[in-house]
């Protein structure tokens, strides 16, 4: 990793002139909040030397020009919900806080789009769209705490990706501040465009390494008036996982197909304080949501879904009420009940390989001395693995985790998968990105990064070792 300059008194004084003194933080008691995101391992924490909360793209532009002049690294922080150490300032320097860019600027009902600043909470965007009779389809589990800019930076997936796609599929246009401080607008409110490079899609998913997203125009769709949620309970994972192709081939177009293994069923029920949940003792859950614009169509599809679940071996088919979805949204936090030390991972494979992959990972996990928990967006091939540390030394834990990951990632790539479906690479998967990504892809990524960010100022130490 290259060497950066320390944050000096002169740098801080110029920073205060840009935003005003009250929006610059240098006190260690305040900076400690930014040494991590969702990471719980103190060995991976890094303290920044300063933090700043700008109010506009213009201020961010001046800050990045200042950082380039002083050679100070900048880490962009949205809601701090990254599961890949994406917001940890691994090189120290300055943390750029996005919370003040929190305005909803326009909701255009005729054009069915909304323009917001990057610091708007995802749920506030969703609720504003809903109040006007529209759906914003981006729906990560962290919607109540994540900011839309962070969703864009990681190309967040979420619970509605089966039908609507991931965050990049919801976007028309972006306003971005480049690593060297230029303010540019990319994309447009167009159904199609073949005019040069698709720059908005390049920025989305780049995890704050190619630019600071300051504004976004997202697509809206009419809010479907009819919806039903089904809980199918199975007594083993195999039939639960293999029913997905049947559901897709039936033309039902589900919005969500979610999977929870039994450890999650029990753990989430306990965490949420729900008693007598179906399948608590040994059941696995498949949660299916279907949305439609026609009442008769909803009735027909509900019968189809129930039939497919029963014919595939479900021991119970019920309405999935709010408790079920609350359990699903709390999969991550429920782990804290059983283990203070755990590691969260996400892998994506072709949809038709999701069943095989989960079965393979469960088999791999049997050889290791920790508990392996799996929940998944099985309708889009994205699965989440949590490893819970049991009674073992740190050395055994770290060696076992490394070996497990190497086996899992090698299998995922062998079936056409990748390291991450929605969490991103961040700093957590840096070494695996180097190991498993083909050289041609890494070369293209480094070429783009070095061209846009010649001083490697913006979010260094994430995705790839851009300067080797």
The confidence score (pLDDT) of residue 467 equals 55
pLDDT at res. 425: 96
pLDDT value, residue 340: 78
What confidence score (pLDDT) does residue 373 get? 94
CATH number at residue 34: 3.30.43.10
Q: What is the DSSP letter of 164?
A: H
The domain containing residue 386 runs over which residues?
Answer: 339-444
Q: Are the beta carbons of 234 and 284 closer than 8 angstroms?
A: yes
152 and 79 both lie in a single domain: no
Q: What gap in Å lies between CA 82 and CA 402, rounded to an integer?
A: 21
Query: What's the gap between Cα 117 and its chain centre?
Result: 19
- The pTM (predicted TM-score) of the whole model is 0.93
Do 238 and 328 lie in one domain? The reply is: yes
Q: Looking at the structure, tell me whether residues 59 and 96 fall in a common domain.
A: yes
- Domain-ending residue, one of 222, 250, 271: 222
Residues in CB range of 349: below 8 A, 6 or more apart:
357, 381, 383, 412, 415, 416, 417
CB contact at 8 A, 91 and 84: no
Same domain, 346 and 314: no
pLDDT at 2: 78
Domain boundary at 66, 100, 134, which?
100
Kindly state whether residues 134 and 232 are assigned to the same domain: no
CATH number at residue 266: 3.30.70.2190
Q: Read off the pLDDT of residues 413-436 as tens digits, 9 standing for 90 and up.
A: 999 999 999 999 999 999 999 999
Looking at the structure, tell me whether residues 190 and 205 fall in a common domain: yes
Do the domain assignments include residue 358? yes
Counting the structural domains of the chain, the total is 4
Which H or E element spans position 436? Answer: helix 430-436
DSSP string, 89-132: -TT-SEEEE-TT---EEEEETTTTEEEEETTSBHHHHHHHHHHT
| Percent of the chain as helix, strand, coil, to the nearest 5 | 40, 20, 40
In a domain, 390, yes or no: yes
- Residue segments in the chain with a per-residue pLDDT below the cut of 70: 1, 466-468
88 part of a folded domain: yes
Q: Is residue 92 in a domain?
A: yes
**45 vs 35: CA distance, rounded Å:** 5
Same domain, yes or no, for 263 and 322? yes
Task: Determine, yes or no, domain membership for 359.
Answer: yes
Do residue 73 and residue 22 come from a single domain?
yes
Q: Of 95, 9, 114, 115, which is closest to residue 53 (Cα–Cα)?
A: 95
pLDDT at 1: 55
Residues 204 and 256 in one domain: no
Same domain, 178 and 271: no
Task: For residue 134, give the 3-state DSSP assignment.
Answer: strand
In a domain, 139, yes or no: yes
In terms of domains, do 60 and 118 share one? Answer: no
Last residue of one domain, picked from the residues 298, 317, 337: 337
Calpha distance 463→429 (Å, rounded): 7
The domain that holds 211 is classified in CATH as 3.30.465.10
User: 399 in a domain, yes or no?
Assistant: yes
Residue 454 falls within a domain, yes or no? no
Pair (357, 424) in one structural domain: yes
User: Number of helices and strands (H, E) in the chain?
Assistant: 17, 18
């Amino acid at each position: 990793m290259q060497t950066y300059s320390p944050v000096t008194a002169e740098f801080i004084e110029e920073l205060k002139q840009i935003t005003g003194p009250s929006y610059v933080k240098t006190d260690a008691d305040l900076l400690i909040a930014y040494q991590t995101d969702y990471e719980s391992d103190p060995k991976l924490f890094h303290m920044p030397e300063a933090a700043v909360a700008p109010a506009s793209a213009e201020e961010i532009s001046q800050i990045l020009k200042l950082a380039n002049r002083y050679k100070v690294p900048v880490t962009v922080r949205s809601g701090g919900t990254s599961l890949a150490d994406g917001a940890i300032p691994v090189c120290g320097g300055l943390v750029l806080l996005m919370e003040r860019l929190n305005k909803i600027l326009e909701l255009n009902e005729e054009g069915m789009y909304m323009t917001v600043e990057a610091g708007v909470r995802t749920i506030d965007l969703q609720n504003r769209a809903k109040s006007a009779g529209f759906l914003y389809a981006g729906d990560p589990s962290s919607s109540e705490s994540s900011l839309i800019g962070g969703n864009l930076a990681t190309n967040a997936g979420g619970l509605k990706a089966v039908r609507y796609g991931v965050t990049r599929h919801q976007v028309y246009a972006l306003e971005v501040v480049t690593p060297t401080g230029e303010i540019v607008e990319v994309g447009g409110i167009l159904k199609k465009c073949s005019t040069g490079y698709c720059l908005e899609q390049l920025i989305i998913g780049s995890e704050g390494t190619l630019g600071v997203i300051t504004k976004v125009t997202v697509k809206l769709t009419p809010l479907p008036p009819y919806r039903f949620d089904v809980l199918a309970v199975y007594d083993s994972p195999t039939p639960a996982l293999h029913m997905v192709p049947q559901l897709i081939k039936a033309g039902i177009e589900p919005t969500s197909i979610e999977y929870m293994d039994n450890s999650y069923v029990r753990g989430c029920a306990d965490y949420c304080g729900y008693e007598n949940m179906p399948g608590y003792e040994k059941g696995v859950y498949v949660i299916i949501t279907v949305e439609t614009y026609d009442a008769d169509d909803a009735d027909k599809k509900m019968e189809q879904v129930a039939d497919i679940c029963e014919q595939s071996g479900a021991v119970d088919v019920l309405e999935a009420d709010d408790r079920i979805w609350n359990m699903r949204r709390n999969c991550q936090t429920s782990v804290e009940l059983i283990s203070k030390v755990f590691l969260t991972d996400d892998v994506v494979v072709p949809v038709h390989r999701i069943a095989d992959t989960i079965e393979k990972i469960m088999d791999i996990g049997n050889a290791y001395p920790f508990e392996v928990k799996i929940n998944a967006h099985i309708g889009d091939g994205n699965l989440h693995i949590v490893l819970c540390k049991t009674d073992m030394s740190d050395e055994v834990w770290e060696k076992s985790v490394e070996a497990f990951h190497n086996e899992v990632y090698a299998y995922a790539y062998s079936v056409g998968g990748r390291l991450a479906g929605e969490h991103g690479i961040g700093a957590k998967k840096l070494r695996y990105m180097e190991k498993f990504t083909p050289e041609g892809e890494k070369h293209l990524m480094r070429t783009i990064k070095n061209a846009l960010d010649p001083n490697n100022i913006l979010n260094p130490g994430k995705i790839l070792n851009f300067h080797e």
